[in-house]
Structure 1
Amino acid sequence: MAKIYNWAILGCGHIAEKFALELKELPNANLYATASRNLNKAVNFAVKFGFKKSYGSYLEMANDPDIDVVYIATPHTFHLEHTLLCLNHKKAVLCEKAFAINSKEVKQMITSSKENNTFLMEAFWVIFKPKLKKVIELIETENLGKLKFVKSDFYFNAEYNPKNRLYNIELGGGSLLDIGIYPVFTALTLLGTPNEIKVTPHFSPTGSEKSISMLFSYKNGATAILSSSFETDYKNETELCFENGLIKYERFSENPIQLFKDGNKQEIFFEATKNSGYKYEAIHVMDCLDKGIIESPIITNQVSLDLMSILDKIRKKAGIFYPNHDTV
């Protein structure tokens, strides 16, 4: 019989709502506690999704001995603080991306996980979705030749509001850490670490970048063109160009993957997801806990550290600086 894990939500915002909605679907996940600095917000969240307890203090939540695993969904600049709090209280942690503000903080989080012998993983949910798993399978099994070019974007319209988290530089605002991280992750996953990076940012009045374009170059001749923006809507499509073919897919839609080879187009279908697909990362976390391991074999510590190290380099080149946080 599968063990039932008591989950807590730290930070009761929009993403936490999406995660909680799908967590309810899992038979081995018990919606146990919510926590916010605003007790009413924690209570309302708990009532809405069926959590047993609610806390108006993160420390109080961390001291609850019945919590097994915490999903951290606060703004980027608080991830280090909240992750260390949970790990030091022996709570397994699934922390939203961006994992932290810089690689120095990520290293601290990883060190704490090891010192406390407690599970830690970045919540990079797209890698667990059936669509991306199918894309990787196609890359590994189809005779398309070497991957030579990646084009990946993430855009949406976000009305400018200096108080909004997306534009608040004090909270790590800007498109790069919020949505640009997805195209960067795609390039790193499929092509590895680039040997040269070029960037073109555009800034909002708050000092956060509202859009950024990135060019990754590789020693083997491969190239990645990546971009993110709060200023336009787009279908967020990724194109993978190989020596002998092309794969195109939309990151979040349920539309089929398109494969082009020898002048022919083929539609590749995959397991459709009822909601966004956050439940798959929760399933993976609980599988890791069942096995007694403290590090995911898929989103490893090194994967998160490599990703943040590249984001550090991009920010340095772009001139993106967060107050009270070291650049690297």
Structure 2
Amino acid sequence: PGGGDFDVWATRVGCGGESLVAPFLVQEAPEGNDIDPELAIAGDAMLVAWQTDDGTGGTDNLQIRYRLFDREGTPRSGDRTLHSLRMGAPITDNHMMPKLAVTPDGDFVVAGIRAVEEVGRFAAFAQPLSASGDLVGDALEPGPEMEVTQSNVAVAVTPDGTVWLTWDRQPDMGASETWMRSFGGDTSERVLDGLDTSAGSDVIATDDAVYAAFTGETAIGTDLRLVALSASPRGATTVGTTTVGTARRVESSPRWAQGPDGQLALAFFRQIRGFTMELLAVSVTPGSPPTAAEPVLVQGSPGVPAYQPALTHVSGDWWFLAHAEGDSPDFRLIGRFVELP
């Protein structure tokens, strides 16, 4: 506020839209530019993670920070900087693009990308945390690659505690592809063959399946692919695919959510022009392949900016969708109740 940098705020609203916890500043130390917040709840604990830029440049100005609260917004810790572990040693160089998941035991996983000096590129990782926010062992990683940048990581944890990652794999020479890894297996795999490019994934684990959503491009169009995934001792495989999209339009930035009875929904963008998007949501029936209902247009023209939305289940066919509106620096955060039959 009053400057060129952003802060991270949080609030809690009731199912009728009423304010239950007034908006509060998340950071203990709000210096720097703080963006891309993620939130996860385990029991009575709430973890908020975000990306910060201290403005100094160099190899360590971009970091992931996180802080624990209870569900009423009372702090349980100060700000912590995530120095993820690799071969027992903390990485203090840049960390970016945080994503969160909760384990069956009530612990957390922070995923993102980190600078790996020996390859000179960013690489995907997933760092386990205890319920109190302490690092637990080395971060899981698909493995850094020479002349390949890994980015846009998504993370999910199955009921048996297996961590899944999806990410964009971008060679210095070649097309971007969406890849996946089940850390119950030994190898990483391309999510779907036969695409010219693919990017921008999200992944979710239900009681008995794992699903990925991402943007895939072929010669005839650019659409969302909804993919059922399966794990084996060797690695992950694709077992069923559904396409969601409109001819000659570009869909992107999917975000999964699920309800307590296994129902699934997806929020995503459809490009109007440049970085201006229509916002849509759709209910998805689990299966191999998953099947999607008719998408609901939540916000059409003049559109919304291309900052990833957030979706959560409320009750029955009702979901809560949060997204940005406006132009920089005059953004607003909008919350909507959306019915997805």
TM-score scaled by length of structure 2:
0.26
| Structure with more contact order per residue of length (Cα contacts < 8 Å, sep ≥ 6) | 1
When you count helix as a share of all residues, which structure comes out higher?
A: 1
TM-score, structure 1 as length reference: 0.27
